[in-house]
Structure 1
Amino acid sequence: MQNGISIYPGLDNTLSENLALIETAAALGLPRLFTSLHIPETDPDALKRELGVLLKAACAHHMEIISDVSPATLTLLGLKEFNLSAFRMLGITTLRLDDGFTCEDIARLSHNSQHIRLQLNASTMTGRLLQKLVDAKTDFSSIDALHNFYPRTGTGLSEETLARKTAMLHKAGIRVGAFLPSLAGRRRSPLRDGLPTLEDHRAMPTSLAARHLVALGIDSVFLADALPTDEELRCLASLEDNQVVLAADLLTRDAAQKHLLTQTFTARIDEARDAVRAQESRRLLQGNIAPEHTAERPCGAVTIDNSGYGRYMGELEIIKNGQPADSRVNVAAQVKESDRFLIDYISPGRRFSLFFPA
Structure 2
Amino acid sequence: MKTGIAIYLGLDNTFEENIQLIETAAKYGVQRIFTSLHIPETDKSSLKKQISEVLNIAKKNNMEVISDISPATLEILGIEKFNLSAFQFLGIQTLRLDYGYDAEQITKFSHNTKKIRIQLNASTITARLLMELMKLGANFANIDSLHNFYPREGTGISEETLVRKNSLLHKAGIRVGAFIPSQHRRRSPLKAGLPTLEMHRHNDVSLAARHLAAIGIDSIFIGDSLPSIEELETLSQIKENEIEVKAQLLSSDEFTRNLLSHTFTARVDEARDAVRAQESRSLLNGTCIKSANTKVRSYGSITLDNEDYLRYMGELQIIKMPQPADKRVNVVGKVLNNEEFLLNYIIPGKKFSFIFE
Range of TM-score over shorter length: over 0.9
Question: How many angstroms does 1:288 deviate by?
Answer: 2.5
1:253 aligns with 2:252: yes
**Is contact 1:10–1:45 with CA below 8 Å preserved after alignment?**
yes
Q: Which residue of 1 aligns with 2:79?
A: 79
SS at match of 1:252: coil
- 1:16-27 matched pairs, under 5 angstroms: 16-27=16-27
Alignment partners' CA distance in 2, 1:258 and 1:347: 24
Structure 2 distance, partners of 1:113, 1:284, is 53
CA distance in structure 1 between the partners assigned to 2:352 and 2:244 by the alignment: 6
Give the superposed CA RMSD: 1.0
Check whether the contact 1:122–1:176 (CA below 8 A) recurs between aligned residues.
yes
Q: 1:123, 1:135 → 2: CA distance?
A: 22
| Structure 2 partner of 1:322 | 322
TM-score, L = length of structure 1: 0.97
1:91 and 2:88 are equivalent in the alignment? no
Distance in 1 (CA, whole Å) between partners of 2:220 and 2:322 is 34
What displacement does 1:53 show? 1.2
Q: How many residues align?
A: 356
Q: Aligned residue for 1:274?
A: 273
Q: Secondary structure at the match of 2:100?
A: coil
In the TM superposition, what is the alpha-carbon distance from 1:284 to its structure 2 partner? Answer: 2.7
Could you list the runs of 4 or more consecutive aligned residues of structure 1 that deviate by over 2 angstroms after TM superposition? 284-288
Question: What SS does structure 2 have at the residue aligned with 1:207?
Answer: helix
Q: Which residue of 1 aligns with 2:224?
A: 225
Secondary structure in structure 2 of the residue aligned to 1:163: helix
| Contact in 2 for aligned 1:219/1:242 (Cα 8 Å) | no
SS of the residue aligned with 2:2? coil
Q: CA deviation at 1:285?
A: 3.1
SS in 2 for 1:130: helix
Higher alpha-carbon deviation: 21-30 or 308-317: 308-317
Which one-letter code corresponds to 1:207 in the other structure?
A: S
Partner of 1:236: 235
- 3-state SS in 2 of match to 1:272: coil
Cα displacement (A) at 1:268: 1.1
Q: What TM-score, normalized to structure 2?
A: 0.98
Q: Which amino acid aligns with 2:126?
A: T
Q: Which 5+ residue runs of structure 1 have no aligned equivalent?
A: none
Query: 1:167, 1:11 → 2: CA distance?
Result: 34
The one-letter code sitting in structure 2 at the alignment partner of 1:196 is: P
| Counterpart-to-counterpart distance in 2, 1:143 and 1:305 | 49
Gaps of 5+ in 2: none
Distance in 1 (alpha carbons) for counterparts of 2:256 and 2:119 = 45
Using the TM superposition, give the Cα deviation of residue 342 of structure 1 relative to its aligned residue in structure 2, in angstroms.
0.8
Percentage identity across paired residues of the two chains: 58
Partner SS state of residue 294, structure 1: coil
